[in-house]
Amino acid sequence: MMFRALTLAWGDLLRPRIFGVVLLGVLLTIALLVALQTGAFWAIRWLAPESITLPLVGTIPIGGTLSWGSLALFPLMGFFLMAPVAAAFSGLFAERVAEIVEEVHYPSAAACRSISGTGFWNRWPSWARRSRS
């Protein structure tokens, strides 16, 4: 039973509508991480002093070095934040995936779909919703 469900789930990933939802979640995750990195870069560039003065050493320029050095944070952010951010975006689209899976694998359960209008995306105004086709 479990292996059959796993096989069906892997097969469903190749369906265009479900693959589109997965791709959208991955792209939104990457976009959010790039936005966070860009924000960190410019925040460090804006807040860090251009240089510091140390006794016996003199003036050391650090502003540009710190901001460009923040790019080393991107792989670290990706490693630690990719899974929770992707899970959050997946949760936003779980209702769409569930509806597609029900249509394909459980067509006789049409009477149970009456609660599907209560999903996250159905609470948005009609002009903000994307069509589900």
Kindly report, residue by residue over 32-90, the tens digit of the pLDDT. Answer: 989 988 898 888 888 878 888 888 888 888 877 888 888 888 888 888 888 888 888 88
**How many H helices and E strands in the chain?**
4, 2
pLDDT, position 31: 92
CA distance 9 to 71: 37
Cβ(99)–Cβ(116) below 8 Å: yes
> Residues with Cβ < 8 Å from 81, sequence gap 6 or more?
33, 36
* Six-digit token string for 99: 């509806």
Provide the 3-class DSSP secondary structure of residue 115: helix
Dig out the tokens for 119 from the structure. Answer: 């999903």
The phi and psi torsions of 55 (rounded to 5 degrees) equal -65, 145
Q: Is the pTM above the cut of 0.85?
A: no
For the record, the structure tokens of 14 come out as: 């190749």
Alpha carbons 129 and 10: distance in angstroms, whole number = 28
Q: Residue type for 109, please?
A: A
